[in-house]
A and B are shown apart, each in its own frame.
Chain A
Amino acid sequence: MPVFETTQKMYEVLGNLFKHLANHPDSGPKFREAGIDIHFSITDPEGDIWLTRAGDVICGKLDLKATVEMSLSGDSCHQFWMKELSLPIALAKGKIKAKGPMGKILKLLPILKPAYEAYPDIARNHGIGVS
């Protein structure tokens, strides 16, 4: 059974997470300055989440060319934000594929910090079991 039982549930949890990031006093402005459109292309459950350069979070299809595209499963998403899946291990196990200039992907990593901190609570608030 996937961590996110439905696409809707996944949109609620991850959508909230990215909204938290976009509104974060430190990371929000940094993200907008970075001028990057990220597309998470998710399987199991199927879904698309966008975090646009304007700081908008959009769940669903969007006719936009992403700067960075991350392809991964819903479970890998959950593990990644829980810090249970590091990038090298995700790559080693073929769990994440990233498309986009390496420099831009590396630039994102420090900006994502508040999302790691916020995720366990957000997941818990949506009834996702978090150890």
Chain B
Amino acid sequence: MSYLELNIDLTDEQNAIKIQAHKFAAEILRPAGLELDKISDPEDVIKSTVYWSAMKKAYELGYHNTLMPDSYGGLGLDPLDIHLVFEELGWGSADLALSIGVACFPAFFASMLPNDILEQNIIYPYCQNTDATFVGCWAITEPNHGTDQLCPKTEVFHDPSIKGQLRARLDGDQWVINGQKSAWVSNGPVATHALAYLSLDPAMGLAGGGICIIPLNASGVSKGRALNKMGQRALPQGEIYFDDVRVPHDYMLVDQESYETMVDLTLATANAAMGAVFTGAARAAYEEALKYSKERIQGGKALFEHQIIKHKLFNMFMKIEAARALSRAAMIYNYNNTPPSIQYSIASKVFCTNTAFEVSNEALQMFGGYGLSKEYTIEKIFRDTRAALIEDGVNDSLMLIGAHSL
């Protein structure tokens, strides 16, 4: 189902982008997400042809290149176009939307700091990939450091007693990397390349970090089992271990001099995308509820005809419109301004994921007992949106980080 487009300046091309993304979300992502969600062992998700067919289709259509500049073969989209795409993918299946979205992280960051080696080994091969054999992940959180890793510009980030669990040291013209990342790395189990945020100078605390691309077929890399979790089950997640892993000098994109700024920029970019994806997930929940409310008869008439239900549906509708307005504005501003204003991306992430969870909770309630049944899509959306309150930063903690910029 579509929605009334309030932006009267949307061009024909932007409308076409939205329609195409919706078609892909409805025909590929929604059914694949529902099927993958039912698989009990997440190790089977990553072996499943359903997962790989969905990813391959996304790559074939170029959705893995949503953030990539067109000079390298990316889609070269403007910020509003990016929002249109991410909202639709999130509407289809938030977990798969995120698997596709995070796949570009190594190549996207390499495109900010291009050199010949990165262009040849990372950027072009990623952009030109059409069969999902080049998949990236963002490896930042660690078993002992979740929120800690995501709080640039706070005191915690500079506390020398807090030391990262993934270290890199220079040996000649190579970096040698040891340690591990958390079980929460999205795409961890399926990724071919990691954009790793690691410690270079522990005396500076977590601020003494660097950002490095690590090919995950390098000697010394191993992975944990795919994580079994409550929501977003189609998004493979898992630990990555590094034991004397060597990468070329040029793969370290950022060192401690600018690490904190780049964490800020990363969080601002990722949180803005989360706002768009979960506006879509909220809309998906609302649409399920609206449809059901017109079918289910209680008290001799459709649920929709009962005033309290209408009131609830209108409340959902208002929240989603507000989520779209905020998340579009935050993305357009922050993808147009470098450095970004992180508080707006955080506001978007927190507001939109809260909205998605509140709307899916209300929607599930409207389904009565059936809402708890795995037969109904709303049950999955509810669990997916619950995970979003923790993903990319716990909402409460993100608000404190955002507040530093007020």
B338–A105 CB distance below 8 A: yes
Whether, in the assembled complex, B184 has its beta carbon less than 8 Å from a beta carbon of chain A, the answer is: no
Q: Which of A88, A101, A102 contacts B254 (CB 8 A)?
A: A88
How many chain A residues touch B (CB < 8 A): the figure is 25
Give the distance in Å from the alpha carbon of A100 to the alpha carbon of B79 in the complex: 10
A106–B111 CB distance below 8 A: yes
B residues near A97, Cβ cutoff 8 Å = 337-339
| B residues 377-391 in Cβ contact with A at 8 Å | none
A residues near B88, Cβ cutoff 8 Å = none
B residues near A110, Cβ cutoff 8 Å = 71-72, 114, 119
| A residues 18-40 in Cβ contact with B at 8 Å | 30, 34
Whether, in the assembled complex, A99 has its beta carbon less than 8 Å from a beta carbon of chain B, the answer is: yes
A residues near B119, Cβ cutoff 8 Å = 110
A residues near B262, Cβ cutoff 8 Å = 88, 91-92
B residues near A109, Cβ cutoff 8 Å = 69, 71, 111-112, 114
B258–A103 CB distance below 8 A: no
B70–A103 CB distance below 8 A: yes
For the complex, would chain A's binding face be called helix, strand, loop or mixed by DSSP majority? helix
Whether, in the assembled complex, A126 has its beta carbon less than 8 Å from a beta carbon of chain B, the answer is: no
Chain B proximity of A104: nearest CB distance (Å): 8
A residues near B76, Cβ cutoff 8 Å = 103-104, 107
Give the distance in Å from the alpha carbon of A47 to the alpha carbon of B206 in the complex: 39
Chain A proximity of B153: nearest CB distance (Å): 11
Whether, in the assembled complex, B151 has its beta carbon less than 8 Å from a beta carbon of chain A, the answer is: no
Give the distance in Å from the alpha carbon of A100 to the alpha carbon of B170 in the complex: 36
Q: Contacts A102-B336, A107-B69, A110-B72 hold; do A89 and B257 have CB atoms under 8 A apart?
A: yes
Fill in one digit per residue for B59-70: 1 if any A CB lies within 8 Å of its CB, else 0. Answer: 000000001111
B residues near A89, Cβ cutoff 8 Å = 257-258
Closest to B269 in A: A102
By CB atoms of chain B within 10 A, which of A30, A108, A109 has the most? A109
What residues of chain B have their CB less than 8 Å away from a CB belonging to chain A? 67-72, 74, 76-79, 82, 111-114, 119, 253-254, 257-258, 260-262, 265, 335-339
Q: Enumerate the 4 nearest inter-chain pairs by beta-carbon distance, A residue then B residue, closest first.
A: A88-B258, A92-B258, A92-B261, A106-B69
